[in-house]
Structure 1
Amino acid sequence: MSFRLQECILKNDIDNLQLKLNKSNINKFDEDGFTPLYFACMKHCVEVETIQSLLSFGASVDLKTKDGETPLYIAVFNRRYMVASFLVNNGANVNEVNGPRKETALHIASRFGYEDFIPFLVEKDANIDALNSESETPLYVAAKAGRHDSTFLLLAAGANASLSNKDGKIPLYIASELKHKHVVIVLKASKESLIHAKAEADVELRMRPQRVLSTNDMLNRAAVDETYRADIHRRHSIPSEVPNTTPMVLTEIKIPQPRLRTHDPLTGKSYGPCRSLEEVGYDEPPPIPAELRNLPPPKLPRTGGTTMMVGTGTSEGGRVPVRVDGLAENEVMEYLSHSIHKNA
């Protein structure tokens, strides 16, 4: 299959496909071992109308690739429900084994938890207990993968839970071994209580931490889920407008450091109190605030008790006593006679 033919398939160019395809090359393998129909069923961008055109041109619906896979197998693998439904309705064998593991399409749907495919394939007469190369049934691979939804659908459709693989392990054993408690709940339930067991398994699964998806898992899910793809784009896209930010203003803080030693390094004794502000790192005394400059010193109120001045009585509290040595001689005699007369 040439590059131009692949381009026509990817672009759903049916007119050019009709010109390039004929009975000699419609089922021809390319360098990857793919037929045009297999390639179209594999790509999500290829529409059902293009696949219908390939079948009308003579493509074999069950022709396997060099790896032994049918177009139906790759359509189910990539969860292309409309394509798989179209192939089955046009004669694709739902029980055809594929690949080195010899698995059917139901094995793939059960392993990946494609709940929409399981009822469809069972309705189209898929063997619900088909064995792969390891003697594993679809129910076994669903239990091994921890798919309790697939397990519920298979049991409800009549799958045999007692069939073991080549190692003698049944689905309940492998689910218990891998600690899939939600699957064990469904497998241990009777057919009449499957619905209640399914609800209990849903609660058990919700209480378990979610598995961290790998990059490939996220891309595969985004390819089929538009809501998930939009959510990934929203969380990982850079906003259109980057907010403007201003750098933080840094203020240098100068910590005063002593310029001289305060203690004797040999004895550890202090040199005594600081004699100036320069000794502790200040170049000049700190400035006096403007509101405190040129103000007179505060005067303490004299209300008696210990604030009374020495030599005064209670009636003259707060008054400065008269200094005798500051009076003239006649004033001294007058002051003394006044004091003697007052004390008498």
Structure 2
Amino acid sequence: MTAASLRVAVIGAGAWGLNHVRVVASEHESVLVAVVDPDPIVEGRVRAIASGVQFLRDADQVFASDAIDAVVIASPASSHAALACAALRANKHVLIEKPLAMNLRDATTIVAAARERRKVAMVGHLMVHHPAVVRLRELLHSGALGTLHYLHSTRVNLGRIRSDENALWSFGPHDLSMIDFLLERTPSTVSARGQCVLQPGVEDVVFLTLRYSTGETAHIHLSWLSPRKERRLTLVCSQKMVEFDDVATDKLRIFDKGYDRPQRFTEYGQYLTLRDGDVHIPQLPMQEPLRVQWQHFVRCIRDGATPTTDLQSAVRVISVLEAAQRSLAQDGVPMDVQVSDLA
């Protein structure tokens, strides 16, 4: 099979699934064969994007078909694990929207199925493919920013209310996957506190604190009950500070700000010197992250490469989410993050 002949089905054509339909249908290295969704109303929206595609109600038709090589799973989060395992056992490559699964047990089951069938399995941690996040990782790993002290992230808006997952599981994978990509390590503990405002038992707002054995701390604010949309990640380092603002026109800003410690000092006032330098806005290739993600998935199938957002990275994210959920249940008690051997 060549990348040019990659025949694809998208399972789930809701608000976000339609974006997958659009991208897959418009890429020359893939052919959108079928879309699966139980809602008949969705069919008109799908055909407005890809008029000749098959519209199916049952995912088993996709799994049984020899005319489909790869599957995108963009269905509700609670169905991801079962559909991913079924797709892999049917010998399909699979791109699974975040979160990979709703618990670590199901996540590791997907990993085992992918290894058994030797198929490319990738999770839709979209932000890892954002050009600004890729540049941010390059800056951090080059040493240009100095030593990382802490990170803080905000992902809030007044948005669609979900009943099958809380703000932690809906929004958290974005920020946790970015932090995992940047730091390349798992936090030792996580604590989480939240509030259920609109629905009982479903947290609309969550605050996370991650602590690392290497000394760094990360704070994350997640909510779909906020007056304005914010998508911001800030890194505070010893030499420079960086802000990634996905809502702003200029996505990345590098601040030459901080405190300098002279090697020798005689008075306490000389110990720390404020540095308030320039702000640099790097030029970035502003490609659509979803399209970059799809092109990466196709290349991995074509070349037999390991995806940047592979299942192991997804298991690490699920490990943090699961520990955070336990902490939420105990009103913020710090929980150890238990990472599976598969991660």
Q: If each structure's strand is expressed as a fraction of its own residues, which one has the higher value?
A: 2
Please give the TM-score of this superposition, normalised by the length of structure 1. Answer: 0.25
Please give the TM-score of this superposition, normalised by the length of structure 2. Answer: 0.25
Q: Larger Cα Rg: Structure 1 or Structure 2?
A: 1
Q: If each structure's helix is expressed as a fraction of its own residues, which one has the higher value?
A: 1
Greater relative contact order (CA < 8 Å, ≥ 6 in sequence)? 2
